[in-house]
Structure 1
Amino acid sequence: MDSTTGLRTLRDFIRFGASQFRAAGLNFGHGTDNAFDEAAWLVLHTLHLPLDLPESWWDARLSEVERTRVVAVLRERTATRKPAAYLTREAWFAGLSFYVDERVLVPRSPLAELIAAGFEPWLDPDAVTRALDLCAGGGCIGIATALALPQAQVDLADVSADALAVARVNIERHRVSDRVRAVQSDVLDGLEPGDRYELIVSNPPYVDAEDMAALPDEYRHEPALGLAAGDDGLDVVRRILAGAHRHLTADGVLIVEVGNSQAAVEAAFPELPLIWLEFEAGGHGVFLVHARELPAA
Structure 2
Amino acid sequence: MPAFLLLAATLAAAPADTAPIECGACAEWNQPQAPFRLHGDSWYVGTKGLSAVLVATPEGLVLIDGALPQSAPLIAANVAALGFDLRDVRFLLNSHAHFDHAGGLAALQRLSGAPVLTTSAGARAMRRGATTHDDPQAGFGDKANGYPPIAVIQVIEDGGSVSVGDVVFRMHASPGHTPGGTTWTWRSCEGGDCRDLVYADSLTAVSAPGFRFSDDPPRVAEFRATIARVAALPCDLVVSAHPGFSGLFDKLAEREADPSRNALLDPKACQAYAQAGEDWLARRLAEEAAATPGD
State the TM-score, normalizing by the size of structure 2. Answer: 0.32
The TM-score, its normalising length taken from structure 1, stands at 0.32
**Structure number with larger C-alpha Rg:** 1
